[in-house]
């Protein structure tokens, strides 16, 4: 029999309408967590809520951009109002908007900081007071309850990547935020860790074909995908021989949401099939 490891936990996952975030939301739900789902538009977020409900789980969607003013309070507020708590936060929402530095606009640079760094900061700041209050109550009851923050970074943030001055700067900064909150929130029994992905097969990393795919973010058509020769080179460089699946990516995040990681905090783990850049 499968023993659910996160029974009764309340998890918030940004950008969970598609890709890795969706797999994280489903994985946590299968382990018994109630999930606050989010995506830019209502359709993908609502679809994941329906999938979780179809599994017999409980979920609610708080849609809209994580970069919007007021989003963090709505998101954290939904967990408290709908489920009465807050145990796991996964800062996953994001996209790439690449250019070499000479072509990179201020808007492009700022957009990457906003979604990958400022939004996680605001969400964690909004969660600080409820976490402090819960932790105080639990301490008074003599209970040690671990909460989990997982920030999603990238090998681009750790080692750099040509064309990603903005993205890699934001993803590197997220590591700083992770390590600082590990120190601020240890007293509240919060494990704050970072999972940095290598190559995971999602729409962001699909092979660029004759017609390059675009994604729509706040009215901008942004080109996504990776040139096939680059994908072939990466596959050769990855010791495990291929890119990861969104499910494998979600499994790595799950490690830092589970009780088995209760004594691990402030760490960055690369989920990249052994890739060392
Ligand atoms: N795929 C990879 O190889 C890879 C590698 C390293 C890091 N990452 C990171 O993993 C995370 C997930 O990426 P993915 O590959 O699953 O991409 P994806 O495009 O498949 O899924 C990301 C989801 O986030 C949503 N999103 C984007 N901006 C948002 C915003 N402002 N507010 C709310 N939702 C928003 C998108 O609509 C999408 O549904 C991102 O932070 C990405 O930078 C991915």
Known catalytic residues are: 167
CA of 35 to the centre of ligand 1 (A): 18
DSSP states of the chain: ----SSTT-EEEETTTTSHHHHHHHHHHHHTT-EEEE--SSHHHHHHHHHHHHHTT--EEE--S-TTSTTHHHHHHHHIIIIIS---EEEE-------B-GGG--HHHHHHHHIIIIIHHHHHHHHHHHHHHHHHHHHHHTT----EEEEEEEEHHHHH--TTBHHHHHHHHHHHHHHHHHHHHHGGGTEEEEEEEES-B-SGGGPBP-SS--EEEETTEEEE--B-HHHHHHHHHHSTTSSPBPHHHHHHHHHHTTSGGGTT--S-EEEESTT---
Average pLDDT over residues 169-182: 98
Would the CB of 120 count as within 6 Å of ligand 1?
no
Any atom of ligand 1 within 6 Å of the Cβ of 205: yes
pLDDT of residue 3: 84
pLDDT band at residue 91 under the 50/70/90 scheme? very high
2: pLDDT confidence band, cut at 50, 70 and 90? confident
> What percentage of the chain reaches a pLDDT higher than 90?
96
Q: Tell me what pLDDT residue 70 has.
A: 98
pLDDT exceeds cutoff 70 at 1: no
Distance 170 CA to ligand 1 centre (A): 14
Domain boundaries, the chain: 10-200+246-270
Q: Is 86 in the pocket of ligand 1 (CB under 6 A)?
A: no
Would the CB of 15 count as within 6 Å of ligand 1? Answer: yes
CA distance 97 to 111: 8
Which of 105, 7, 98, 129 lies closest to 58 in space, CA to CA?
7
Q: What is the mean pLDDT of residues 139-161?
A: 98
User: What mean pLDDT do residues 172-201 have?
Assistant: 98
> Does 3.40.50.720 match the CATH number of domain 10-200+246-270?
yes
Q: How far apart are CA 114 and CA 127, in angstroms?
A: 18
CB burial class (10 A; 0-12, 13-18, 19+) of residue 80?
middle
The residues that bridge with 268 in the sheet, in sequence order, are 194
Higher pLDDT, 13 or 224: 13
Residue 55, phi then psi, degrees to nearest 5? -85, 0
């Amino acid at each position: 029999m499968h023993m659910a490891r996160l029974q009764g936990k309340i998890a918030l996952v940004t950008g969970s309408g598609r890709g890795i975030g969706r797999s994280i939301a489903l994985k946590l739900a299968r382990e018994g967590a109630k999930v606050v789902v989010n995506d830019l538009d209502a359709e993908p977020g609502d679809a994941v809520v329906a999938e979780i409900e179809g599994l017999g789980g409980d979920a609610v969607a708080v849609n809209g951009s994580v970069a919007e003013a007021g989003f963090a309070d709505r998101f954290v507020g939904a967990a408290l109002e709908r489920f009465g708590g807050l145990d796991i936060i996964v800062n996953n929402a994001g996209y790439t908007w690449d250019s070499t530095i000479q072509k990179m606009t201020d808007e492009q640079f700022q957009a990457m900081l906003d979604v990958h760094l400022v939004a996680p900061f605001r969400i964690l700041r909004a969660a600080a007071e409820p976490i402090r209050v819960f932790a105080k109550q639990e301490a008074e009851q003599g209970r040690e309850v671990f909460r989990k923050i997982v920030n999603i970074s990238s090998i681009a943030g750790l080692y750099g990547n040509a064309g990603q001055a903005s993205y890699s700067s934001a993803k590197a900064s997220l590591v700083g935020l992770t390590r600082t909150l590990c120190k601020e929130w240890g007293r509240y029994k919060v494990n704050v860790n970072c999972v940095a992905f290598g190559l995971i097969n999602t729409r962001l990393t699909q092979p660029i074909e004759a017609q390059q795919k675009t994604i729509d973010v706040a009215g901008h058509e942004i080109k996504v995908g990776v040139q096939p020769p680059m994908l072939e080179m990466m596959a050769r460089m990855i010791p495990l021989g291929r890119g990861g699946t969104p499910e494998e990516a979600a499994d790595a995040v799950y490690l830092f949401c589970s009780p088995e990681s209760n004594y691990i905090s402030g760490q960055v783990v690369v989920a990249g099939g052994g890739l060392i850049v």
